[in-house]
Chains A and B, each alone.
Chain A
Amino acid sequence: MKIAFTSTGKDLEAQIDPRFGRTAFFVLLDTETTELEVIDNSAIQEEAHGAGTATAQLLFKLKPDVLITGNGPGETAAKVLKKSAIRIFVEAHQMSLRDALKHFENGDLREV
């Protein structure tokens, strides 16, 4: 399974970025191989408009099975993500990616 985290940093010790559209990084974890892939999304800070849909388009290309994030995508970004099969889990605020993964595996994160 491929899991995407919205992240403030580049490894599993980093904190979850609570924002979806303006997340600094996506960290992709392959749970079979435990390999990590890091996608820098920081250029989005320059965008005045449509950060949510732009990031949703990027995530669509990355094709994870699961997204773990904080606040959850806004309405417009959610409209885009609905076109994908990605399952979205939210409210992983103030957790490291590792903690968020643990919560996800225990079924403690809310799916939207």
Chain B
Amino acid sequence: MTDSQPNRIAVASGKGGTGKTLVSTHLAHTLSQSKDCVLVDLDVEEPNAHLFYEQANPTFEMPVFKQIPDWQSNICTRCGQCAEICAYHAVVQLGEMIMVLDELCHSCYACSELCPVEALPMKNHEIGSLSSLQHENLTIFTGKLRLGEEQAVPLIKKSIALSNQEIKDQTYIIYDSPPGTSCPVVAAVGNANLVLLITEPTPFGLNDLKIAIETMRQMDKPLAVILNRDGIGNDEVEQYCDVNNIPLIAKIPYNEDIARNYAQGKLSNEVPQMADAMKAVEEYIQKIQFHHA
């Protein structure tokens, strides 16, 4: 915390539905009591962090694009190099026709650059939107993928880049990540210098936590675990963290008030068990030394 750079905290989990958004929104609320805080909802296929801030002021909404090739049939010589080179088979040659599958394109530009007659200039393709809300010290960015789009990664990257422009020194940035361990998660946590892995005390929770830890270690990310719905299931997650020296920094008990508030889009910072858990997380964050790339 001696650095003047922002501290970037990704909230992730192997398993879906373990409480990423619960922790992200409550932690953002807690941290924003004393400092500027930015919450970036990168779960772009179903963003929901903004639902807890309906009273906040919308500041902007903008479309987000990715680049895709735009086939010019009048220039094309049908040499087929574009279809040959496309690693994602997003460009196919069908006799006299070149077909671009927009949703499969990874915007790598290979077809466009290699085309000998420049018959594949790149064009904008709208994949979703990025919007922003302001509530006191807290800025919330929401990336939202358009229905039918298959790729979350370009939107996640754009959301991170655009939210970066709003960030001052000494700010906390919280990335609410999508679930799992695939490309969208790697993109969402890539910028973070601390990853909080949320899990639940069940066999599923433990199994998916192990996979998430393995992924974060490969990415060289410092991590800590938060146990949600503590009191259900068994103590295998705690044992696992203990044996493997993984910091388990807070437990949020299974609690009907928290669940009821959550279902109504309300924060539970007033509920003592949640307040205690968030205090523990805040203390941990203040204590550790963030490493900046």
Contact = CB atoms under 8 A, between A and B. Distances in A.
A76 interface: yes
A60 to B, nearest CB: 5
Interface string B78-110: 000001001111101111010101011000000
B87 A76 contact: no
Given A49-B89, A51-B89, A60 B103 contact: no
Nearest to B95: A60
A49 B87 contact: yes
A79 interface: yes
B94 A57 contact: yes
A52 B92 CA distance: 11
Interface in A8-66: 47, 49-54, 56-57, 60
A49 B104 contact: yes
A52 B94 CA distance: 14
A52 B97 CA distance: 18
B88 A50 contact: yes
Contacts of A76: 101, 103-104
A50 B99 contact: no
Given A50-B104, A79-B101, A80-B101, A56 B88 contact: no
Contacts of B95: 60
A56 B87 contact: no
A84 B92 CA distance: 13
Nearest to B103: A76
A85 B94 CA distance: 12
B83 A57 contact: yes
B90 A50 contact: yes
B177 to A, nearest CB: 22
A34 B92 CA distance: 31
Contacts of A49: 87-89, 104
B93 A53 contact: no
Given A49-B87, A83-B97, A83-B99, A56 B92 contact: yes
A80 B92 contact: yes
A76 B93 CA distance: 14
Interface string A77-111: 00110011000000000000000000000000000
Contact of B94 (A50, A51, A60): A60
A68 to B, nearest CB: 21
Contacts of B83: 57
A84 B87 CA distance: 23
17 contacts: A47-B89, A49-B88, A49-B104, A50-B86, A50-B87, A50-B89, A51-B89, A53-B104, A54-B92, A56-B92, A57-B83, A57-B94, A60-B95, A79-B101, A80-B92, A80-B99, A80-B101
